[in-house]
Amino acid sequence: MISIDRFLSDEQDPKAVEKVIGKLNDLLTSGEEILYLAVQKKPAVNLLPDSIAISNKRIFYCEPGNLGLTMNFKDISWKNIKEVSFKEEFFGSKFICVPQHGENIVTEFIPKIQARKLHQAANEQLEAFKELTRQQKLEENRASASAINVPPVTNIYDLPVEEAIVISPQEIEEQEDETTLKLRKLKTLYDKQLITQEEYESKKATILDSL
């Protein structure tokens, strides 16, 4: 159960705080906590004041209904908020929430000291959310860049058959020496009848004599 004592530091209406905190306790999600609570103070009759609560995940707008028998809650998460501000007037201040889409949410008659602290708490959470979003985008960009720069791994078993290199047995054999190569060429010329047998024998003898 949330303790209400820390939400009474700026002359908030204790009854309103107790009622709102009691209801908010059931609405908070895992890891969510209320950071500040401001209570409306109307200049004349202030029997059913509205309240605004700041959590680390969203802003709650709390409005009493049915003559105080029920409580209506509206909330807006930080990702849907563009900015927050407040405007001091003769009777308290206006707290203004500017959403990413839609009309501004304006709450009047917030005591000035509460409006300033409400604005401070909301601004801190909004900036923290923006910084977190910026860091996440940087990480995503880095991950995308890494994925582009890393060449795809090719499985050798996926290569088409025609890309395989076939090495003939002749290429594996040791290189023939110059004399053997000359004799082989000379024999080829003779086999093709490009030279006579006498020329073949003569040149063969010359090659062998050179050894």
The answer to whether 4 touches 20, Cβ cutoff 8 Å, is: no
**Tens digit of pLDDT for each residue in 72-85?**
999 999 999 999 99
Q: Is the pLDDT of residue 111 over 90?
A: yes
C-alpha 97/C-alpha 95 separation (Å) is 7
Which structural domains are found in the chain, ordered by start?
5-133 (2.30.29.30), 178-211 (no CATH)
Is 180 exposed, middle or buried (CB count within 10 Å of its CB: 0-12, 13-18, 19+)? exposed
**Tens digit of pLDDT for each residue in 23-39?**
898 899 999 999 999 99
First to last CA, the chain: 108
C-alpha 53/C-alpha 23 separation (Å) is 12
- Work out the angle between the directed axes of helices 197-209 and 178-191 (0-180°, nearest 10): 180
- Return the pLDDT at 194: 84
